[in-house]
Amino acid sequence: MATVTFDKAQRVYPGADKPSVDDLDLEIADGEFMVLVGPSGCGKSTSLRMLAGLEEVTSGAIHIGDRDVTDVPPKDRDIAMVFQNYALYPHMTVAENMAFSLKMAGIGKEERRTRVEEAARLLDLGDLLGRKPKALSGGQRQRVAMGRAIVRRPQVFCMDEPLSNLDAKLRVSTRTQIAALQQRLGVTTVYVTHDQVEAMTMGDRVAVMKDGVLQQVDTPLALYDRPANLFVAGFIGSPGMNLLRATVSDGAATIGGYTVPVDRHAITGLTGDGATVGVRPESWRLVGPGEGGLPVQVTVVEELGADGYLYGTSDVAGTPENIVIRVEARREHRKGETVHVTTDPAQVHVFDTGTGERLSR
């Protein structure tokens, strides 16, 4: 087991005018499950490949434990990689695929067999060891790829969007299995995904990236409750946070003619008079038409059984194209109706529109 440290690690591709990963400072604890998340092109996979030795580090350093591995070849880093496309050998059986790296490392036949059987028990692959990849489902192939990593007993697991080829239902069950397996093995794991739901449900901590720059790293709930800036606020959460443009004067924030109930201390740090207020869908409260709430015309009613969501628009200046409101399940609402919503000051996130930084405490 080992810690992983990115020390101002940077990757600039030849001919590029800016880094793909820019001065990444990140410490991952021994045995921690760290998720790197962000939109396509944000640098998360490049960061993982730098750790694995598949991408050159232009400047800075990467450490695994006390060892500087910045210039160490991939085979000597004691990491195991799980790829998006499984990368199984089609002519080999499941057992042969899992044992191949051990065979290349010169480990004896009996030890190879023991390690493969142990991994097969962990992953419920015992009945599949004699099959070839073409006879397996996508979920089974992914478990074989996991088994191939486990038998090596590495210091670090590197996982690059391993669930993206699975269907939605299988993705949910497999991510639970991976999280439980990692906890049981206690191996330091760096997991890359563009799916923030995966990140929130799997990681001990989550690192959010944008344009090659680390935006925030924290526990899933801390990211949700205290996003550091507008990007993190809009990215984390499903459905996402409602972000509304407001003007500030006399210690109050207004959206059109609607006064937003915000913490007055939050808006004292504004660099100008423009603030963006964020409200989670579950933080809206329905009120009567005469109670001063923000009017929202419902365009879509989404009934999920346990939850209900209203998607709508408001003709008030500064409101986004879509406002999302979480409502009680099975509460009757219709497309085309107008509802009025408000919220409590403690539930409102305030950001400086100019800098994007969080102002709320």
Average pLDDT of span 202-229: 96
- Rounded to 5°, the CA angle 154-159-164 comes to 155
β-strand pairing of 258-260 with 252-255: antiparallel
Q: How large a percentage of the chain has pLDDT more than 70?
A: 98
pLDDT tier at 164, thresholds 50, 70, 90: confident
Which contiguous run of DSSP H or E holds residue 130? none
* Span 12-30, pLDDT tens digits: 999 999 999 999 999 999 9
Average pLDDT, rounded, for the chain: 90
Which has the higher per-residue pLDDT, 261 or 96? 96
Greatest mean pLDDT range, 7-21, 165-179, 292-306: 7-21
Count of helix runs (H) and strand runs (E) in the chain: 8, 20
- Would the pLDDT of 287 be above 80? yes
Residue whose tokens read 């944000």: 42
Q: Which two tokens stand for residue 198?
A: 């995966």
Amino acid 223: pLDDT: 96
Instruction: Please state, in angstroms and as integers, the Cα–Cα distance from residue 233 to each residue in 38, 118, 285, following that order.
Output: 12, 42, 20
Cα 248 from Cα 262, distance rounded (Å): 11
Question: Residue 272 burial (CB < 10 Å; 0-12/13-18/19+)?
Answer: exposed
For residues 239 and 215, what is the distance between their CA atoms, to the nearest angstrom? 20
- The residues, any chain, with a CB within 8 Å of residue 104's CB and separated by 6 or more, are none
Residue range 226-255: mean pLDDT, rounded? 89
Binning pLDDT at 50, 70 and 90, where does residue 272 land?
Answer: low
**Of 54, 43, 55, which Cα lies nearest the Cα of 18?**
43
**Tens-place pLDDT, residues 26-66:** 999 999 999 999 999 999 999 999 999 999 999 999 999 99
Give buried/exposed letters for 36-59 (b at 16+ CB in 10 A, else e): bbbeeebbbbbbbbbbbbebebee
Measure the CA–CA gap between 206 and 216, rounded to whole angstroms.
8
Query: By C-alpha distance, which of 136, 147, 141, 132 is closest to 99?
Result: 147
Above 80 in pLDDT, residue 251?
no
Q: What is the pLDDT of residues 83-110, one digit of tens each?
A: 888 788 999 999 999 999 899 889 999 9
Q: Rg of the chain's alpha carbons, rounded to an integer? A: 24
DSSP 358: B
Report CA 355 to chain centroid distance, whole Å. 23
**Does position 261 have pLDDT exceeding 80, yes or no?**
no
Give me the residue label for tokens 């439980």. Answer: 180
**Lowest-pLDDT range of 9-23, 66-80, 317-331:** 317-331
Residue 1, pLDDT > 70, answer: no
Instruction: Identify whether the C-beta of residue 275 lies closer than 8 Å to the C-beta of residue 357.
Output: no
Amino acid at 229: N
13-26 b/e (C-beta count within 10 Å ≥ 16 → b)? eeeeeebbbbebeb
What is the pLDDT, as a whole number, of residue 214?
97
Domains, the chain, ordered by start: 4-230 (3.40.50.300), 242-352 (2.40.50.140)
Terminal CA-CA length for the chain? 37
- Using DSSP bridges, classify how beta strands 67-68 and 323-327 pair: parallel, antiparallel or unpaired: unpaired
- Contact at 8 Å (CB) between 96 and 89? yes
Where is pLDDT greater, at 169 or 28? 28
Nearest-angstrom CA–CA distance, 48 and 89: 23
For residue 250, pLDDT over 80 is answered with no
Burial state string for 320-332 with b = 16 or more CB within 10 A and e = fewer than 16 = eeebbbbbeeeee
Q: How many beta carbons lie within 10 A of that of residue 121, not counting itself?
A: 10
Give the mean model confidence (pLDDT) for residues 353-359.
88
